[in-house]
Each structure stands twice: as C-alpha cells, then as structure tokens.
Homo-oligomer: A and B are copies of this chain.
Amino acid sequence: MNVRTLILAILNFCEASGYEIKKMSSEGSFSYFVDISYGSIYPTLARLEAEGMVAGRVESHAGKPDRRIYSITERGRAELVRGLSQPPQKDIFKSEFLLQAINAPLVGPDVMAAALAARIANLEAEIAMLDGIIADCDHPATLWVANYGKRIMTTDLHYLKAHRNDLVAIAGQAAGAPQAAE
C-alpha cells in the first residue's frame, strides 16, 4: 500500500489536485486508513505524470492560486488494477493505546484512564465521520467498507465503555509500587 497506488486509487474516484488528495487522505473517506503528507504527494504526482499514469492540467480561479488538477489515464488505471490485484499483505495495525494497555500497571490508572477517554472520543468521531459517508455516498463499494468499519468501531466502542473500569483497576494494582527493583 504505497503512496503511488493510493494516489491512483483516489484519482480513480475523482480528479483532484495534490492539495485535495491530502485532504481526502487525512479527513475524507480515505482517512480511516491513510494520511499521506505533501512531501510524498507532490513528487509522486509528478512522477506519475512523467510515466503517463495521470494527466495534469492547470486550472485558474480568480483570487485563488492556480491548481494542478490530475486525472487518471487508461495506463494509470491498468497500473492500479495491477497494484490491487496481487494478494493483499496482512493489515498493519499499530496501536500505541494497546501498548499502553498491555503495560497498564506501569503507566498507572490516571494515564490509562486518559488514554481510554481519548480513544473513546476518537472512535466516536470516526463513527460520526462514517455516518456522514453512509448518508451521502452512493458508491456501493465505499458504502460496504463504511458499514463494515462502522460495525467494527461500534463494537470496539461498546466494549471499551463496558470494560474501561477493569483496565483502570489493573493499572491501579501496582500504583505507587512500580515493579520489583533491579
């Protein structure tokens, strides 16, 4: 899942500028599995154009900076299919929250409670975003993914709310006596 394929996938939905791609990847319907930086978007876009995978055109709007709008080409779409068709590698899931949770006794109940609260808030925000997609969007595949994501996040949220106190209690177990000495 390199930036290259990701950008092609986004451009296969709609043409966009580098700036818009950034926004889609950090706020829009792609945000729940990526967040690309400008520093990788613009060079990749330039390279994709040089390879004929995307076509760029400049659009001028009065009172706004010029925008380079890119759209995917036939070659780009073929490349995207190639990229998507090879068996997907395992999902990568990196959770600092889980690392904290596994070390609950070490971080203590206060930090743990704060982390739980942050995660719950985060999940609620993300579910709200998915609700927005589910309401607005009529693209079947996107809807399928949004509903799938919502289902999992909802379960996650319920579980956290039901068991947060257990984890805080575990974190409190060793409070003040920070593990055996060296």
Contact A32:B151 (CB < 8 A) given known A5-B99, A80-B106: no
State the number of copies, please.
2
How far is B90's CA from A13's CA once the two chains are assembled, in angstroms? 26
Is the beta-carbon distance between B103 and A84 smaller than 8 angstroms? yes
Q: Least Cβ distance of A158 to chain B in Å?
A: 9
Q: Given the complex of chains A and B, what is the CA–CA distance between A94 and B93 in angstroms?
A: 7
A159 and B163 contact, CB distance less than 8 A? no
Pick from B84, B92, B151, B160: contact of A107, CB under 8 Å = B84
SS class of chain A's interface: helix, strand, loop or mixed?
helix
Candidate in A119, A145, A151, A171 with the most chain B CB atoms within 10 angstroms = A145
A105 in the interface (beta carbon within 8 A): yes
Min C-beta distance of A97 to chain B, whole Å: 5
Q: Is the CB of A91 within 8 A of B97?
A: yes
Interface size class of A (residues with CB under 8 A): 35 or more
A171, B159: Cα distance in complex, Å: 32
Residues of B within 8 A of A46 (CB): none
Verify B111–A145 contact, CB threshold 8 A. no
A-B contact pairs, 21 of them (CB 8 A): A33-B99, A77-B106, A80-B103, A81-B106, A84-B99, A85-B111, A87-B118, A88-B119, A91-B95, A91-B98, A101-B148, A102-B142, A102-B145, A104-B144, A140-B170, A144-B170, A148-B159, A148-B160, A151-B159, A152-B152, A152-B155
A33-B94, A151-B159 given; 15 more Cβ-contact pairs under 8 Å = A1-B96, A1-B99, A9-B102, A84-B99, A87-B118, A88-B100, A91-B96, A92-B93, A93-B93, A101-B145, A102-B141, A102-B145, A141-B167, A141-B171, A152-B155
